[in-house]
């Protein structure tokens, strides 16, 4: 009998090529697989809730894995995993789930937050984007409303991605100030590769008067990545929330410090 488990984890993505295993690059998935293999005594492969770009962080990330025997002491295994894993990866919970539960396909929504430091701060250089003091939030919010009216986000996707559709349903997109931070929050049923960073970069072009909000209609209808703005740096991006119909949602994300 197969026993399936979810792990809820977080990671600082600065030193990783992203979640997914890649040749000639270090990934979060590789480190987690190695730790689970050491503890279980046989090879364990995880399946993540999605993939993140190199340098992107995750406050909340889920992955599932299978074992032939049930975990006798989940608390002890949690301690062992955290002892083996690098300091920039943390396991918060091990959850016994039905055999057909799937970390990627069962997720009903995902939320990202992008942090922009309004003043240069050497202590946050790996955690936020620097350089935009006062972009026009009203203009950027108008552009957000236009984005939510579309479903095809080909213009905000990396090219040559192996997905069946570029359609996504965005339910929330908002800019706000949080103390010294300018924060963009976006929620959708799914995201394309590089999508959030491309959206942020384009919205900042709107906020600095390089293009009007109405340009978002033309960009999205073009279905061409070259029509949109430059992607924002990875350091400011966090995956902060994932929802499943059968999991209790943990506490939300607060920026470090």
Catalytic machinery residues: 53
**Any residues with CB less than 8 A from the CB of 227 and at least 6 apart, and which?**
155, 218, 219
**Alpha-carbon span 243 to 249, nearest angstrom:** 7
Report residue 150 as tokens: 């579309």
Strands 129-130 and 237-243: unpaired
Strand partners, 63: 7, 48
CA 74 to centroid of chain Cα atoms: 26
**Any residues with CB less than 8 A from the CB of 72 and at least 6 apart, and which?**
none
């Amino acid at each position: 009998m197969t026993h399936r488990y979810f792990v809820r984890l977080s990671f600082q993505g600065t030193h990783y090529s992203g979640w997914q295993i890649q040749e000639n690059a270090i990934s979060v998935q590789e480190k987690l697989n190695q730790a689970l293999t050491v503890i279980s005594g046989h090879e364990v492969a995880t399946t993540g809730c999605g993939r993140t770009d190199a340098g992107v962080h995750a406050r909340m990330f889920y992955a599932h894995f299978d074992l032939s025997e049930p975990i006798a002491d989940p608390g002890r295994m949690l301690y062992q995993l955290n002892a083996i894993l690098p300091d920039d990866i943390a396991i918060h919970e091990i959850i016994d789930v039905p055999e057909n539960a799937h970390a990627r396909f069962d997720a009903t929504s995902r939320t990202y937050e992008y942090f922009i430091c309004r003043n240069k701060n050497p202590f946050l250089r790996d955690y936020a984007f620097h350089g935009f003091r006062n972009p026009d939030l009203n203009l950027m919010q108008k552009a957000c409303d236009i984005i939510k009216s579309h479903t095809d986000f080909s213009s905000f996707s990396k090219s040559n991605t192996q997905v069946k559709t570029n359609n996504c349903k965005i339910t929330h997109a908002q800019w706000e100030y949080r103390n010294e931070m300018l924060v963009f929050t976006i929620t959708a049923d799914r995201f394309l590769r590089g999508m959030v960073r491309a959206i942020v970069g384009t919205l900042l072009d709107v906020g600095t008067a390089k293009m009007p909000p109405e340009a978002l209609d033309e960009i999205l209808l073009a279905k061409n990545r070259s029509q949109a703005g430059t992607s924002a740096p990875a350091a400011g991006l966090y995956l902060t929330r994932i929802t499943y119909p059968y999991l209790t949602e943990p506490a939300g994300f607060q920026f470090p410090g």
